[in-house]
Structure 1
Amino acid sequence: MSDHKATSRSVLTVGDLLSFPALQMRLLAGGGGLGRTVSWAHVSELEDPTPWLLGSEVLMTVGLAVPRSGEAQRRYLERLDDAGVAALVLSTQLRTPPLRQAFLAAAEERGFPVLEVPLAVPFVTIAQEVAAAVRENSAERLGAQLQVFGALRWMAEENLDIPALFDRLEQLSGYRLFLCTAQGRPLLPGVAAPEDVSVLPADADAPPTVPGGFVLPVLGPGGAAGYLVALEQAGARPAGLAVVQHLATVAALRLAMVRQEREVLRREGAETLAELLQDTLDPASAQRRLAHHRLDTQRPVVLAVLRRTQDDQLEGALSDHPHLTLRRGEDRLVLAEPGFTEALAGLPGAVCGVSRPFTVGEPLRVAQQEAEWAAGRAEEAGKPLVHYGEDATGRWLPEDRRLLSALVEQVLGEALRYDAAHGAQLLLSVRTWMERDRRTEEAAAALHIHPNTLAYRLRRFGEVTGRDLSTTAAFTEVWFAVRAATELGVAAAGP
């Protein structure tokens, strides 16, 4: 058995087997896949042997497993290819039915080698050639496996960061490694996601073999957190499924460590933000803690208030932005540099209010009021994101809620009591009309009433409050009072 000596410097391929004179093989179809790696040779007469395969096998059959119809033959070939089989070897002059055009066309399209071997060459001869070729590389593969299994020791002793760790694992395993979530997004920082997400399985229990490598789940507390995709590198010696399984375990451990680090940072950030809001943190300590969270204390920051969002969605949107978060009831408060707010606007169903930029060291009480006001305005307007100052009125309102209440009572008190006593909607009508820049027909349509009815309500409001809305002074006073009522939550909801 000297024909396989040429493979001692590289992995065994289907093309190598085809070139061995002693095997007398002939290519029937699928010549585009002659570079496929061969790890073993096995005989099977099952119509679907894939549950018992690991990938890269040369599957040999006398033909009992091959269906007779063209469509069934095509499905048989596709099952083998999807399971990562390297090639199909058929023995001539035995039980193989006529090969249909659909079968041969599928082999060509997929680059799945279909080989024919004469009856004079027993299957055991092919198996022996494959075993001998694989055995020559076994010592080197074992060395690579042992080094890969030492990955946990490297992490502890050398403190390798994630990119350096996976670079080394690629060199030793012979695979190009990718990590991603089930949706194809990056799973660990510094490790790329695969460009072709079609290799990802429908579920974590799917067979691990894919063309040119393996895909294995990266497990977390709730099941599969994502997937490791290991694809053979050209000219390398792939270390096999056992090593890839170990790589998935290393990825799972590193993911757990990253999540733990993020959780510690999140809790520390929440404590820091709570102390900043209470104004109990001195400037030097505040700057030191913010720098620990990668926030530049020399640049402006903003405070955001988010409503109707989930923590995992928020963390995903903020993953690329240094930030502090704090939960207050149903609200989430976020402190970060101004550029992060656009990421929040895309959170499904969430509304966000953002303060004006300020510098670290200023009290956060004003920023919190601004962000809460903007969040309320976003809810009223049905917008996902509002920055404080977009409505110029807000900046002129007093911060003291007692003063806001006094303004509402003085200007709108009679109208509020009239609405309560008569079931009327004077204040809602006035507010809708003002928000639509005094366009009566548009405001009436929003209120679902006739323009004449709206005109009557405006006149009645003026009679009840003693303020003629046709004058600039009265209009301005009422507008500020309406905004103050909205801030206090006493104004009727808009249409």
Structure 2
Amino acid sequence: MEGIFGVRMSVVDVATGAPIVPGSLAPDPAVVEELRQAASRPDAHPGSMHPSSTGTVKAWTLPSGRPALLLVGEDSPMLDSFTVGHLQQAVTAAVNNVITNAMALAARGEQLVSSVFAGRMPIEHLLAQSRELGLAGTEYVVIAVATDQPSDPLVVLTTAGILHLPHRRPGRLTCCLNAADLERALDLPTLDSSRVGVSTSFRSLEELAEASRQAGWALGATLERKRIVHYDEVRGSVVPRDSQAAREVSRGVLGDLLEPTERSQRLLETLTAYLTNDRKWTETAQALGIHRQTLGHRLRQVEVITGRSLKSTADLAALWVATSAVEFLADARNTV
């Protein structure tokens, strides 16, 4: 396509900045971020042009199914509006094809994993079909990524050519990868700024459920340690490692927050988001889609129900362990 139109170009994802259709143009990451932010503004619309402040790249927002940016080097020949329109149409078709194939591949892998976890498919079928999907290495690893937009890392992994078996749940994306791809995956856009838990490596997909629990457990430990935590680093963690202990800890600390009522579930979700976002009010309110005043009211209710103070280090530690135990139990239910 570059030869046909006589330009140097590439296409990046607006949400993540990751390449979708790579080309000969390799702009500075700071330039890509500037243009990505411009394309994310509410007044940006498909077809609009965004020049970079450095004068090295022009960008056009594409009317693709997933928002994307066409980047063209300023050293390319001057394009008239007619040619630009044709270029946008051709590139948009290519982007839609890439994204459609990527999400179809991810959906197929996710259906396999969900069926195995739910006990609807023998592990032998997963082994056979995972080989068809290309996940046929000799060693695997599972990563659990904290995200409210699981499609972002899915697209990034797929367009980067990293084969994976995904499993989505609220606030988290779990993926099984070839172990050889782990470091490259962690350096990709979106994943390079997310909290990630990493399982130990394993040689048979029969161990997928256990590895998924390990990755989820390691992810919980990122709240108190660092952005990326490997399971081996938290073997001595205070987070419960079996379902019975997890139930005892969560019930003893959270009490009525575990009742199956809409109010209790809302307050538990609020507490978990508050701890996940390092007790930052603005980020927590945005994650929950509520006002800060509403957040404050809910957190006071949490204190009343649990009898714990969110200003006490000891109480915060207990609440973190208890909410991690709740996540552990959820993982256990979703991987059996």
Which of the five TM-score ranges fits, normalised by the shorter chain? 0.5 to 0.7
Alignment-mate amino acid for residue 354 of structure 1:
V
In structure 2, relative to structure 1, the CA distance for the partners of 1:244 and 1:402 (3 Å cut) is closer
1:242 CA drift (Å): 3.1
The residue that corresponds to 1:326 in the other structure is: 167
* Conserved? CA contact 1:345–1:351, under 8 Å: no
- Cα distance in 2 between the residues matched to 1:254 and 1:222: 11
Q: 1:359 aligns with which of 187, 191, 203?
A: 203
The residue that corresponds to 1:391 in the other structure is: 234
Alignment map for 1:222-301 (pairs within 5 Å) = 225-229=68-72, 242-295=82-135, 297-301=136-140
Question: What is the CA deviation profile of residues 141-187 of structure 1, one whole-angstrom value per residue up to 9, with x for unaligned ones?
Answer: xxxxxxxxxxxxxxxxxxxxxxxxx2xx51x44x1331233879564
In structure 2, relative to structure 1, the CA distance for the partners of 1:230 and 1:487 (3 Å cut) is closer
1:250 CA drift (Å): 0.6
Larger relative contact order (CA 8 Å, sep ≥ 6):
2
* Conserved? CA contact 2:103–2:154, under 8 Å: no
Question: What is the CA deviation profile of residues 448-470 of structure 1, one whole-angstrom value per residue up to 9, with x for unaligned ones?
Answer: 79xxxxxxxxxxxxxxxxxxxxx
Question: What is the CA deviation profile of residues 62-114 of structure 1, one whole-angstrom value per residue up to 9, with x for unaligned ones?
Answer: xxxxxxxxxxxxxxxxxxxxxxxxxxxxxxxxxxxxxxxxxxxxxxxxxxxxx
Question: What is the CA deviation profile of residues 397-422 of structure 1, one whole-angstrom value per residue up to 9, with x for unaligned ones?
Answer: 764x236667x79xxx8x999xxxxx
The residue that corresponds to 1:177 in the other structure is: 8
In structure 2, relative to structure 1, the CA distance for the partners of 1:378 and 1:348 (3 Å cut) is same
* Conserved? CA contact 2:115–2:121, under 8 Å: yes
- Cα distance in 2 between the residues matched to 1:302 and 1:395: 23
- Cα distance in 2 between the residues matched to 1:312 and 1:416: 32
* Conserved? CA contact 1:176–1:231, under 8 Å: no
- Cα distance in 2 between the residues matched to 1:226 and 1:282: 42
Question: What is the CA deviation profile of residues 292-348 of structure 1, one whole-angstrom value per residue up to 9, with x for unaligned ones?
Answer: 4332x2322222333344224423553422222222233322211341563489658
SS at match of 1:181: strand
* Conserved? CA contact 1:308–1:349, under 8 Å: no
SS at match of 2:60: strand
Alignment-mate amino acid for residue 325 of structure 2:
L
* Conserved? CA contact 1:214–1:229, under 8 Å: yes
Q: Percent identity?
A: 19
Q: 1:217 aligns with which of 49, 60, 76?
A: 60
The residue that corresponds to 2:142 in the other structure is: 303
1:484 CA drift (Å): 9.1
Alignment-mate amino acid for residue 25 of structure 2:
A
Question: What is the CA deviation profile of residues 243-291 of structure 1, one whole-angstrom value per residue up to 9, with x for unaligned ones?
Answer: 4431221111111111111121121111012123235444553233223
Q: 2:244 aligns with which of 378, 383, 402?
A: 402
Q: 1:488 aligns with which of 325, 328, 333?
A: 325
- Cα distance in 2 between the residues matched to 1:178 and 1:403: 56
Alignment-mate amino acid for residue 315 of structure 1:
L
The higher radius of gyration belongs to: 1
- Cα distance in 1 between the residues matched to 2:143 and 2:227: 12
Q: How many residues align?
A: 246
Gaps of 5+ in 2: 39-43, 256-310, 315-319, 328-336
- Cα distance in 2 between the residues matched to 1:275 and 1:346: 27
Give the TM-score taking structure 2 as reference length. 0.55
- Cα distance in 1 between the residues matched to 2:169 and 2:60: 36
* Conserved? CA contact 1:279–1:364, under 8 Å: no
- Cα distance in 1 between the residues matched to 2:312 and 2:24: 53
- Cα distance in 1 between the residues matched to 2:323 and 2:150: 28
- Cα distance in 2 between the residues matched to 1:394 and 1:253: 49
- Cα distance in 2 between the residues matched to 1:223 and 1:285: 32
- Cα distance in 2 between the residues matched to 1:363 and 1:179: 39
SS at match of 1:303: strand
In structure 2, relative to structure 1, the CA distance for the partners of 1:186 and 1:229 (3 Å cut) is farther
1:336 aligns with 2:167: no
Alignment map for 1:310-321 (pairs within 5 Å) = 310-315=149-154, 317-318=156-157, 319-320=159-160, 321=162
Give the TM-score taking structure 1 as reference length. 0.40
SS at match of 1:191: coil
* Conserved? CA contact 1:215–1:230, under 8 Å: yes
Alignment map for 1:44-443 (pairs within 5 Å) = 166=1, 170=3, 172-173=4-5, 175-181=6-12, 187-195=19-27, 204-206=47-49, 217=60, 219-221=62-64, 225-229=68-72, 242-295=82-135, 297-315=136-154, 317-318=156-157, 319-320=159-160, 321-338=162-179, 339-340=182-183, 342-343=186-187, 347=191, 350-379=194-223, 381=224, 383-393=226-236, 399=242, 401-402=243-244
* Conserved? CA contact 1:344–1:352, under 8 Å: no
- Cα distance in 1 between the residues matched to 2:323 and 2:68: 44
In structure 2, relative to structure 1, the CA distance for the partners of 1:200 and 1:342 (3 Å cut) is closer
In structure 2, relative to structure 1, the CA distance for the partners of 1:403 and 1:187 (3 Å cut) is closer
Gaps of 5+ in 1: 1-165, 418-445, 450-482, 491-495
SS at match of 1:357: coil
In structure 2, relative to structure 1, the CA distance for the partners of 1:373 and 1:254 (3 Å cut) is same
Alignment-mate amino acid for residue 10 of structure 2:
L
* Conserved? CA contact 2:10–2:19, under 8 Å: yes
